[in-house]
Amino acid sequence: SVSGADKMNGRLGGLVNPWNGRMYSQRYMDILEKRKTLPVWQQKYEFLQVLKNNQTLILVGETGSGKTTQIPQFVVEAVELENHPGKSRKNKMMVACTQPRRVAAMSVSRRVAEEMDVTIGEEVGYSIRFEDCTSAKTVLKYLTDGMLLREAMTDPLLENYKVIILDEAHERTLETDVLFGLLKQVLKNRPDLKLVVMSATLEAEKFQAYFSGAPLIKVPGRLHPVEIFYTKDPERDYLEAAIRTVVQIHECEGPGDILVFLTGEEEIEDACRKITREIGNLQGEQVGPVKVVPLYSTLPPVMQQKIFDAAPPPLTEGGPPGRKIVVSSNIAETSLTIDGIVYVIDPGFAKQKVYNPRERVESLLVSPISRASALQRSGRAGRTQPGKCFRLYTEGSFNNDLQPQTYPEILRSNLANTVLTLKKLGINDLVHFDVMDPPAPETLMRALEELNYLGALDDEGNLTKLGEIMAEFPLDPQMSKMLVVSPSFNCSNEILSIAAMLSAPNCFVRPREAQKDADEAKARFSHIDGDHLTLLNVYHAYKQNNEDPSWCSDNFLNARALKSADNVRKQLMRIMTRFNLKLCSTKFNSRDYYINIRKAMLSGYFMQVAHLERTGHYLTVKDNQEVHLHPSNCLDYKPEWVFYNEYMLTSSNFIRTVTDVREWLVDIAPHYYDLENFPECEAKRVLERLYRAREG
């Protein structure tokens, strides 16, 4: 027990870990020494004092100052002092620390478990969508902001927690912004609850104003100077320019690791291959060895850990030094701090969410970053010594083209899911819900309208029975709807598999050197009616082959993605069972087997339909946006109507993951395909004929 361990500490000179009564490892001691040098340790006492005397406080500190890893441990210590040893675990309350990114929640909690010398999942745990790594012992929980929001649905006053830390507040994700508003209310009803808001940049005044003058603690930065270089002319191909810059640095600059910011998984993996190849080609010349490591959100945890490995040693004693080259998405901007970076390459782009309520399109778009982001990125070069940042754009562009701050996500998102969550939380008056930056009224209207079409809200905007259940699924409303209605189409088993496959990372592998083989392998799974049923085929084959990883690689399938899909499926199934939603299938040899599945899917996705025009291209229904089938689709013809899972805003607009649907539209969603509020277009005339044919 804690008191027993304390006694032993007295005897053995503080070598026993009070959390588990075990002797502290040497590694613990080593890390502790390093931890104590982090800037936040200078203000540990001040922080605990301010926390004691206030319900809410704001802490601002440079990335890498120890906010995420150290502050929650300080808080846990303080909370444990108050928790009387006699009190049972059950009544003890936890400390929560939110992270906008799954990777950060996982990686940081592992690190903190190591720092506390406990096993991950026991005293320190994490919770992210579809993965709960906590236990009854957990006192410190890292979780995504989205997960905390979901917890509020069943625990409206967040009574499992004594202190909530909202980390990375400067990121202003949709979920964090909603949590701000929610916590403001909860704090009024829970005088014993405390809130710590942590941020990397100085938007602190805004947070202070919002939390009515909460005290602010500033942790002074300890950055070394970073020299900034711009390109003389704009770069045509930033990827190619980034790779070229890496090679140049490696050949010409002094020791130190390199961090390259790119936008997404594919691009990052591609860049890693090219960098390895090009530096390999330099052999014979006087260059050191390199270790190239990718970092992005869907990377498996073992691989994530590699960013913290040391650079390789020189090949020969006294030879040119080895270098670690991290190629990362935005995660490395503020969420994860990598020590030893001396060179940063910033092409100036990131994948960002955009939403246009008029066209109802939400999409991830590679777009220019803000000046604030650019400053954060360059800061990563000066953690341990003076560094250099290479911006692959012109100085004029930095000053004139980049906007000063990134817009909060709440202003560029489809809010249907958020509105459903808020309704479920009992917040009905959305207009007066106190958010830091209120979304456009049009965006709110769109969200209410979509939820009404889906049947989640009635005409007065109240949550329906269907909406209540839909809100329980950690999915988009469309997908939740298709799951909830699937038993009535006698295909909930299959819809579960499809929903799981759509929620997991892409399962198809397409290596550049074996594209043809990969496409042939994919074609063997393909279903004539479209991509969703192809995914179902893959899932079935995966199960039939006993989830065998070597079968997966033989078939150009990503075993990890499929395993994750299988896990997601189990969790979704649990929610289905909890709400007595029947698990059933149509007989496989029935003519209706696939038709039922397609109809169930359409019940969720009837607002994401496109019609093939006589001119040969598709127009989205009602909004009449010209779109193209994404080249990855498995159809060998162009169906008249398709529904799609994803709208990709690029130079030409693609719809991705599509399935052929028929005139079922008018049966399944007559309220949406009601011709009275339908714009004049070819689709309308086709529907008119359909309706007439049915009457006659």
Name the residue with tokens 């690791």.
Answer: 257
Euclidean distance between the first and final Cα of the chain, in Å? 80
In Å, the largest CA–CA distance within the chain is 93
- Indicate whether 199 belongs to the interface with Mg ion (CB under 5 A): no
Contact in structure between 234 and 394 (CB atoms under 8 Å) = yes
Q: Which does 625 bind (CB under 5 to 8 A by kind): ligand ADP, Mg ion, none?
A: none
CB of 169 to ligand ADP, least distance (A): 12
CA distance 589 to 431: 52
- Indicate whether 173 belongs to the interface with Mg ion (CB under 5 A): no
Q: Which does 596 bind (CB under 5 to 8 A by kind): ligand ADP, Mg ion, none?
A: none
- Indicate whether 259 belongs to the interface with ligand ADP (CB under 6 A): no
CA distance 241 to 545: 44
- Indicate whether 56 belongs to the interface with Mg ion (CB under 5 A): no
CB of 68 to Mg ion, least distance (A): 3
- Indicate whether 68 belongs to the interface with ligand ADP (CB under 6 A): yes
Q: Which of 68, 363, 413, 608 binds Mg ion (CB under 5 A)?
A: 68
Q: Total residues contacting ligand ADP (rule CB under 6 A)?
A: 15
Q: Which of 43, 63, 328, 330 binds ligand ADP (CB under 6 A)?
A: 63
Please give the radius of gyration of the chain, using alpha carbons only, rounded to the nearest integer. Answer: 27
- Indicate whether 107 belongs to the interface with ligand ADP (CB under 6 A): yes
Q: Which of 16, 38, 193, 389 binds ligand ADP (CB under 6 A)?
A: 38
Which DSSP string corresponds to 34-91?
A: HHTTSHHHHTHHHHHHHHHH-SEEEEEE-TTSSHHHHHHHHHHHHHHHHS-TTS-GGG
CB of 97 to ligand ADP, least distance (A): 10
Q: Which does 308 bind (CB under 5 to 8 A by kind): Mg ion, ligand ADP, none?
A: ligand ADP
Q: DSSP alpha helices (H): ranges in 407-487?
A: 416-424, 441-454, 465-470, 477-485
Near ligand ADP by CB under 6 A, which window of 59-67, 371-379, 424-432, 626-634?
59-67
Q: Which of 17, 59, 64, 658 binds ligand ADP (CB under 6 A)?
A: 64
- The secondary structure of residue 19, as a DSSP letter, is T
Q: Which is nearer to ligand ADP, 384 or 488 (CB)?
A: 384
CA distance 541 to 535: 10
Beta carbons within 10 angstroms of residue 53's beta carbon: 9
Q: 424 to 463, contacts with ligand ADP by CB under 6 A?
A: none
Q: Which is nearer to Mg ion, 67 or 324 (CB)?
A: 67
Q: Which does 38 bind (CB under 5 to 8 A by kind): Mg ion, ligand ADP, none?
A: ligand ADP
Q: Which is nearer to ligand ADP, 308 or 593 (CB)?
A: 308
Name the residue with tokens 């902001």.
Answer: 145
Strands 94-99 and 161-166: parallel
Q: Which does 69 bind (CB under 5 to 8 A by kind): ligand ADP, Mg ion, none?
A: ligand ADP
- Indicate whether 299 belongs to the interface with ligand ADP (CB under 6 A): no
CA distance 88 to 13: 27
Contact in structure between 124 and 156 (CB atoms under 8 Å) = no
Interface residues toward Mg ion, by CB under 5 A = 67-68
Interface residues toward ligand ADP, by CB under 6 A = 38, 61, 63-70, 107, 111, 308, 337, 339
